[in-house]
Chain A
Amino acid sequence: MERHFIKTLDDLKMTLLNMAALTQRAIEKATQAYLNRDEGLAQAVIEGDREVNNLELKVDQIALKLLALEQPMARDLRFILGTTKISNELERIADQAVNIAERTLFLCQHPPLDHIPAMDRLIEVVKSMLDTAITSFVEENTQKAIKLRQMDDIADKYTLEVLQVLIANMVQSTPATEKRIVNARRSVQTIIISRCLERAGDLATNIGEHVAFIVEAINIKHQKVDFDQS
């Protein structure tokens, strides 16, 4: 007979994975909406956020119940604590997707800016980071979790590149006042999008840190980790 406790732990894990899948989809859709200037898709991201929020509440509820009723120990205790932290990071990543979608709705009202290759790369890195973070949790793979820190450095690099391109664009843009203002607005909104992506990458890195805590009982937060381990 399967223990009730184990069944509830599985329930907790499945709820978190469901939340992770929705969050991943939100980032995917938000970046697609930005790249394709798709207002409908951006709107769908904004509307879909409620579901992620509800799942975060459900994770908290199951975790609280397990802590109060089962007095978990060792790995189980770390898993429950880690899960609540990961769900918090996922909820904030989904909020970044909503923010990207809202900027996209603004950008769709105006002619597009020139293509920014660093933004494409930033989107790919951040999506890949989120995928790595979720996989590290599913596979309980600390090496993948640690690898996220390297990926985060790359995401930071592309964010800076986007910022540099757009500042240059604002400085060099047409002298006609009205056009210049519109250009500045589009650029600022696009910079915010890049910031949202960079933030999502940071949060994915945090997920990796929580996975390391669950699996290895080590706290790698605020510490330099030797990448040669991977």
Chain B
Amino acid sequence: MENAPKLTARQLNFYYGKFKALEEISITINRNQVTALIGPSGCGKSTFLRCLNRMNDLIPGTRVEGDIRLDGEDIYDSNIDVVSLRRRVGMVFQKPNPFPKTIFENVAYGLRVNGIKDKKILKDRVEKALKQSALWDEVKNRINESALGLSGGQQQRLCIARALAVEPDVLLMDEPASALDPIATQKIEDLIHELKNNFTIIIVTHSMQQAARVSDITAFFYMGKLIETGDTETLFTRPALKQTEDYITGRFG
């Protein structure tokens, strides 16, 4: 199992009404690696990311063809419990979105939703998640203060802690640093390097430099198609296809 892929997509098509947003996407995502999805706006990278924990189900008029498997299990199978799927495949969004609650309650939220009431367990899991998201030292003395008092970078790490608290296998990150300053961005990127030891991470980013810095594998999307996937170093130094080369060297269009 250790070497088996964490996630696979096979001939995935995705429609917003009649518009085909993803076309025949096939990709294998290895466990404990960071996979970056890059491409121009509207290329389908965020749509693909949201397919991986069925977030698109929430958008009316959407339709999926093909299959996505998590540890070999079809996540679009009718027997799949979507809440349980989203616990296993957590998500962090572009803008930090803490709840107007205390720091502790923000992280404990998912645990409570999943029925955990034991105070000792809650306390341990919150502390563990805040340590994993490299925020513990900064907030341990004000854990019961409002999360809204944290800086933007801290809020984003809090959201990562909130996602980690329910102990997912996979973490989806949709431009997690695009609203942050360079120092907060660097902390998130360092954190991604740390987290891949325990999680499988898929990140959508508009910054190619960020993709190059944090990922092991990079996938280039264009107009709903997966154009090229490869080892990040190879893709950024000697891409196989001209289309990829044109995009990463800024000679597009």
Contacts and interface: CB of A to CB of B under 8 A. Distances in A.
* Chain B associates with chain A: yes
Interface of A: 3, 5, 71-78, 217
B237 interface: yes
Given A73-B249, A217-B238, 19 more contacts: A3-B250, A5-B250, A72-B249, A73-B208, A73-B212, A73-B237, A73-B248, A74-B236, A74-B237, A74-B238, A74-B244, A74-B248, A74-B249, A75-B245, A75-B249, A76-B249, A77-B236, A77-B237, A78-B238
A81 to B, nearest CB: 10
Interface in B213-253: 236-239, 244-245, 248-250
Nearest to A78: B237
A217 B241 CA distance: 13
A200 to B, nearest CB: 30
A217 B244 CA distance: 15
Nearest to A217: B238
Nearest to A71: B209
A72 B248 CA distance: 9
9 contacts: A71-B209, A73-B236, A74-B236, A74-B238, A74-B239, A76-B249, A77-B237, A78-B237, A78-B238
Contacts of B237: 73-74, 77-78, 217
A214 to B, nearest CB: 11
Nearest to A77: B237
* Interface size class, chain B: 10 to 19
Contacts of B248: 73-74
Nearest to B207: A71
A24 B104 CA distance: 71
A83 B212 CA distance: 23
Contacts of B212: 73
A65 to B, nearest CB: 17
A52 B182 CA distance: 40
A5 B212 CA distance: 20
A28 to B, nearest CB: 36
Contacts of B244: 74
Contacts of B239: 74
A74 B208 CA distance: 12
Among B236, B238, B239, the one with the most A-chain Cβ atoms within 10 Å of its Cβ is B238
A75 B235 CA distance: 11
B99 to A, nearest CB: 37
Contacts of A74: 236-239, 244-245, 248-249
Contacts of A72: 249
Interface string B65-101: 0000000000000000000000000000000000000
Contacts of A73: 208, 212, 236-237, 248-249
A77 B209 CA distance: 13
